[in-house]
Amino acid sequence: MKNLKIYIILTSLILVSNVFYAQDKLFLRNGTTVICKISAISENTITYKDTLANSLANTVSKKEILIAEFKTGQIYIFGSTEKSLNTTIDLTFETREQRKERKMKEWQEKEQQLPNGILGFYPVQIIAGRFTVSYERLFANKTMGVTVPVSLTYDMLSVLNALSTPSASSTGTSSSTTTNPSTQPSHSGVGIISGVDLNYYHDLKPELKYFFGPRFRYGTAMTFGGIEYLSFQIQNGIMKSSGKKITNTLSIGVGFFKLSEKYANYPGYEPNQVYPTCSITWRLGFRL
């Protein structure tokens, strides 16, 4: 019998505790805590009911409220100005879509304060015979960008061949060079490739943009035998911002290239032909 009484008392305490913690709470500026059910929020007041059955609604000014805690765990701190109070109202019952819109708006407002210039480097292109630096200028609230790249090109294939082919002095014998007419001769020295990109940007989510646009290049590619060519591609890619200074851009381009008249009859190429081309480009950028 004694154990039954203890069980009833403990059960009652648990139920009372659950009821207490499952209600909304208002923390007033005078130090009072009100356990209640918040029923309405207006611009300047909060309406609530006590936890007792058939209790009447009470309305208090927001100026008297310091913190409102909902039974879902959401906590809102009411500021001292009308503007901050209105902001809190907007956030109280926001949906997932509203939250996405708010986050995007906050990012766009933050982005407008960032510099419009991006200095770019292309580390992967170094092993392909190009050292490239670019500058992009953003316009129209950062929805458009014009990029001007400059590449210093060199014959990476001849460098690799020189490293992989034993020299005559190392073997102790002389050797003669045989030229295969179907292969392109190696070229020493450097060349220049430049052009322009026009990018159209669209926000996918905060700090992540999709872009597309035309890309033009003209210059001398030393790795491919020192050919002089003009190329056109349409590129698609994404740009990820990291903090206030760093961006990472990855794009895929598809298009064509055409040799200049000087190289139209170059070994391995048919005269006056247009050839398909594609590219994968990674740019590490720094906002200036």
Confidence (pLDDT) at 199: 96
Residues 6 or more apart whose CB falls under 8 angstroms from that of 137 comprise 116, 117, 145, 146, 147
Q: Is the pLDDT reported for residue 106 higher than 50?
A: yes
Burial of 265 (0-12, 13-18, 19+ CB in 10 A): exposed
User: What average pLDDT does this structure show over 87-109?
Assistant: 73
Domains of the chain: 2-93 (2.30.30.100), 117-162+185-287 (2.40.160)
86 vs 277 pLDDT, higher one: 277
% the chain with pLDDT above 90: 38
Minimal CA–CA distance to 87: which of 75, 78, 96, 99?
78
Let me know: does 216 contact 242? Beta carbons within 8 Å.
Answer: no
Confidence of residue 99 (pLDDT cuts 50, 70, 90): confident
Confidence (pLDDT) at 134: 97
Confidence of residue 278 (pLDDT cuts 50, 70, 90): very high
Confidence (pLDDT) at 79: 61
Minimal CA–CA distance to 228: which of 252, 259, 205, 204?
259
For the stretch 223-263, pLDDT in tens is 877 888 899 999 999 999 998 899 999 999 999 988 877 76
* Spatial distance between the Cα atoms of 189 and 179, rounded to a whole number of angstroms: 20
Confidence of residue 182 (pLDDT cuts 50, 70, 90): very low
Count the Cβ atoms, other than its own, within 10 Å of residue 12.
10
Confidence (pLDDT) at 57: 86
Query: Could you give the strand order of the β-sheet that contains 33-41, starting from the edge strand earlier in sequence?
Result: 57-61, 45-50, 33-41, 24-28, 65-69, 75-77
Confidence (pLDDT) at 272: 66
Minimal CA–CA distance to 64: which of 50, 83, 78?
78
Count the Cβ atoms, other than its own, within 10 Å of residue 86.
12
Minimal CA–CA distance to 236: which of 194, 205, 201?
201
Q: Is the pLDDT reported for residue 13 higher than 70?
A: no
- Report if pTM > 0.75: no
Q: Is the pLDDT reported for residue 164 higher than 60?
A: yes
Confidence of residue 87 (pLDDT cuts 50, 70, 90): very low
For the stretch 113-161, pLDDT in tens is 999 999 999 999 998 889 999 999 999 999 999 999 999 998 876 666 6
Confidence of residue 3 (pLDDT cuts 50, 70, 90): low
Q: Is the pLDDT reported for residue 84 higher than 60?
A: no
Minimal CA–CA distance to 25: which of 79, 70, 59, 73?
70
Count the Cβ atoms, other than its own, within 10 Å of residue 44.
12
Confidence (pLDDT) at 155: 83
Confidence (pLDDT) at 125: 92
For the stretch 208-218, pLDDT in tens is 999 999 999 99
For the stretch 26-82, pLDDT in tens is 888 888 888 888 888 777 888 888 877 778 888 888 888 888 888 877 887 876 544
